[in-house]
């Protein structure tokens, strides 16, 4: 789809990879609306790129329906949606002291990453279904964010891996579900990227964590994620897949 004149909703757009993608989308003539937590920098970030902002919490599953309706009303329609809202917990299935992984923590990570993504996708799809298709028959593109931990989770990432693996697994099925409507669904699985989520990782640890990459052996930059997300939006053949953006890295067990 063409960015010029298209409308995009960027969930998690106040920071990191989603912010960088929103910026690229705006720079190419797209209209941007950022959704992010009330406590985020969303208001300022949106103002800086001439975009709109509305507060949201993807874990408020019912509330997201109203927020997204307000966002679509503010833009007029929606052709692009990127969601990076997510997070992890570090806990083993059985801890060293023998206690089990907290079920509440496991469920929270599934809710935040997997249910949150599915809910946003389903609501956005409802709005995209009302778009007039372009000459290719396309009505919109939705991109979710997994992680390479979806495929080779490290020790202590069992909840995160289950959640991100679920996002990767649902991508093709959702693309099939929505194919007749001309709505494409893709997932990006990054390795370690320099974002708000990782800013507290010391340089030495970052080097250690990226040493198994083929090339480059470094953390990714938000704008490199943005380049992939924008390419997906523009290329009608990109559908139903999870793309690793990882410098050829495969996580070791620890
Ligand atoms: N940075 C990495 O190394 C890395 C690697 C693999 C996957 N990821 C995935 O990327 C996503 C994080 O993106 P980032 O790395 O650009 O981090 P980031 O912290 O810079 O940006 C994430 C944004 O999401 C927002 N957010 C968090 N929880 C939210 C919620 N409940 N509702 C609405 N917004 C919420 C935050 O306020 C923040 O602005 C997560 O899904 C994470 O699992 C990150």
The pick from 86, 199, 228, 245 for probing ligand 1's pocket by mutation, whose C-beta has the most ligand atoms within 8 angstroms, reads 86
Q: How far is CA 69 from CA 52, 53, 84, 97, 114, in A?
A: 14, 13, 19, 47, 21
| 134 CA from centroid of ligand 1 (Å) | 31
Taking the C-alpha atoms of residue 167 and residue 157, their distance in angstroms, rounded to an integer, is 15
Residues 194-203: tens digit of each pLDDT = 999 898 889 8
Residues 47-92: tens digit of each pLDDT = 999 999 999 999 999 999 999 999 999 999 999 999 999 999 999 9
> Is the C-beta atom of 83 inside 6 A of ligand 1?
no
Structural domain contains residue 204: yes
Structural domain contains residue 2: no
Residues 17-54: tens digit of each pLDDT = 999 999 999 999 999 999 999 999 999 999 999 999 99
Structural domain contains residue 250: no
Q: Which atom of ligand 1 is nearest to the CA of 164?
A: 43
pLDDT of residue 122 exceeding 90 = yes
> Is the C-beta atom of 195 inside 6 A of ligand 1?
yes
More confident residue, 146 or 209: 146
3-state helix, strand, coil in the chain (%, to 5): 45, 15, 40
| 98 CA from centroid of ligand 1 (Å) | 31
Question: Which among 10, 53, 160, 251 is annotated as catalytic?
Answer: 160
Using a 10 angstrom Cβ sphere, with 0-12 exposed, 13-18 middle and 19 or more buried, the burial of residue 132 is exposed
Name the CA dihedral angle for 187, 190, 194, 199, rounded to a multiple of 10 degrees.
Answer: 90
pLDDT at 197 (0 to 100): 87
Structural domain contains residue 1: no
Active site residue 53: no
User: Which pLDDT band, with edges at 50, 70 and 90, does 211 fall under?
Assistant: very high
Structural domain contains residue 34: yes
Q: How far is CA 175 from the centre of its chain?
A: 16
CATH number at residue 234: 3.40.50.720
Secondary structure of residue 233 in the 3-state scheme:
helix
pLDDT at 10 (0 to 100): 99
Residue bearing the CA closest to ligand 1, atom 32: 57
Q: In terms of residue numbers, what domain contains 62?
A: 7-245
Least confident span in 109-118, 148-157, 192-201: 192-201
| 160 CA from centroid of ligand 1 (Å) | 13
- Smallest CA-to-CA distance from 77 within 124, 41, 12, 44 is with 124
Structural domain contains residue 77: yes
- Helices 63-75/116-128 angle, 10° precision: 40
Structural domain contains residue 171: yes
pLDDT of residue 116 exceeding 90 = yes
Domain count, the chain: 1
pLDDT at 162 (0 to 100): 98
Tracing tokens 């912010």 back to the chain, one arrives at 19
The pick from 38, 146, 195, 250 for probing ligand 1's pocket by mutation, whose C-beta has the most ligand atoms within 8 angstroms, reads 195
Structural domain contains residue 100: yes
Mean pLDDT of the chain: 97
| 180 CA from centroid of ligand 1 (Å) | 31
| 77 CA from centroid of ligand 1 (Å) | 25
């Amino acid at each position: 789809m063409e960015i010029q004149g298209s409308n995009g909703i960027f969930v998690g757009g106040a920071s990191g990879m989603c912010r960088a993608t929103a910026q690229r989308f705006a720079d190419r003539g797209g209209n941007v609306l950022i959704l992010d937590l009330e406590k985020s920098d969303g208001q300022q970030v949106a103002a800086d790129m001439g975009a709109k902002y509305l507060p949201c919490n993807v874990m408020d599953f019912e509330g997201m329906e109203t927020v997204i309706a307000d966002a679509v009303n503010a833009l007029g329609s929606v052709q692009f949606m990127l969601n990076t809202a997510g997070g992890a917990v570090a806990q083993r299935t059985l801890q060293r002291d023998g206690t089990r992984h907290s079920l509440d923590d496991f469920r929270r990570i599934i809710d935040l990453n997997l249910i949150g993504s599915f809910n946003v996708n389903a609501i956005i799809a409802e709005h995209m279904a009302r778009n007039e298709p372009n000459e290719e028959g396309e009505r919109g593109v939705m991109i979710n964010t997994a992680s390479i931990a979806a495929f080779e989770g490290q020790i202590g990432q069992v909840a995160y891996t289950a959640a991100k693996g679920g996002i990767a697994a649902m991508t093709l099925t959702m693309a099939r579900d929505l194919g007749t409507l001309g709505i494409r669904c893709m997932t990006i699985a990054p390795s370690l990227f320099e974002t708000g989520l990782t800013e507290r990782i010391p340089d030495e640890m970052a080097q250690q964590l990226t040493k198994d990459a083929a090339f480059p052996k470094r953390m990714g930059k938000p704008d490199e994620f943005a380049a992939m997300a924008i390419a997906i939006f523009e290329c009608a053949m990109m559908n139903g897949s999870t793309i690793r953006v990882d410098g050829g890295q495969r996580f070791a067990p620890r």
